[in-house]
Amino acid sequence: MSADASGPVSPGDEALVWIDCEMTGLDPDTDEILEIYCLVTNGNLDVVDPAGFHAVVHWPQARLDAMDACVHADRAFLRRPPYAPVVDHLHYRVLDVSAVKEAARRWCPGVLEAAPRKRGRHVARDDILESIAEARFYRDAIFAHADGQAKDGSRGP
C-alpha cells in the first residue's frame, strides 16, 4: 500500500499504466520498436489522460501486418535503452488481460460468449483501448461478484 498527502491508497485505487508496443518481431536483440503508446487508468479503469503518450517510427504496412501481440515481448523491448527507466519505475507485476481471458476460458467459459472481440489492428492506441475494455468486461463479469460466481452462473471446478 502506498500513501501520499491525501492518505493511504488501497490496491483497487492504484493507477494502472497501459503500454503497447508494435515491433518488427519478437526478438529484442534483433527487432525494433515501431510504435509505443501509453495510457494511464485509475483503479476504476477510467482513462486519466486521453491523449496519453505516443511515439511512432514509420514502416510499410506489410511489416505491420506480420506482428502479433505479447505483453511480455513488449516488456523485453522496453528493458533496453532508452526505455529502461520507464520499466524500472513500474511495478514488476504485469496485468496481462490475455491471461485473464485464458483463465475465464478454462474456469467460467460462459463468460467468454459476451466478451468484447478484439479487432487485431496492431495500432498501439487501439490495442490498449481494446484491452482496457476487455479488462472492464472481466472485472464486471467475474471479479465484481463477492461470492465468486460469474454472471452466467458458472463456477470453477
Query: Quick count: other Cβ atoms within 10 Å of Cβ 137?
Result: 19
| Residue 78 cell numbers, joined | 522496453
- The SS3 call for residue 114 is helix
Q: Which residues are catalytic?
A: 122
**Distance, C-alpha 49 to centroid of its chain:** 16
Contact 49, 74 (CB under 8 A): no
Separation CA 24–CA 94 (nearest Å): 22
Contact 93, 114 (CB under 8 A): no
